Amino acid sequence: MNATEAAALLKAPYLSVRLAPMTSINNPHPTLSIRVSLDEPANWSYGIIENSRYALFFVRQASDGRAQAEMLSHGLGGKGGFRKTTVATPEKALAKIQEWIDARQVSF
């Protein structure tokens, strides 16, 4: 899965999806780096994403096709609530991230 395909599956006020070149001989699949903000960029203090309600996720695909989604950091004041998860496909990992986004947008 590439960054454009992943971005098409996610909806948030701000979204940045990139391929992180974290590959190895044992796992040549690239890692998706997903930066999300629940606030519009115009509302960020000093224009810095870390001054918003943001989260940074990585989605890694294993050689067997399964995918692992993990939240690396967030700016939600202890209300991150995303557990590392392993699912059957990268699409299902992105669906889990979208569920997290949807739950946070209505709770704030």
Please spell the DSSP secondary structure of 53-84, one letter per residue: SEEEEEEEE-TTS-EEEEEEEE-STT------
Q: Note the pLDDT tens digit of each residue in 46-58.
A: 999 999 999 999 9
Question: What is the pTM (predicted TM-score) of this model?
Answer: 0.85
Could you give the CA distance from residue 39 to residue 19 in angstroms, rounded to a whole number?
A: 23
Residue reference for tokens 């224009």: 47
Give tens-digit pLDDT for 78-100: 666 888 899 999 999 999 999 99
Rounded Cα gap, residues 42 and 15, in angstroms: 14
- Cα 97 from Cα 38, distance rounded (Å): 13
Measure the CA–CA gap between 78 and 94, rounded to whole angstroms. 22
pLDDT grade, residue 108 (50/70/90)? very low
Q: Which residue has the tokens 């930066």?
A: 35
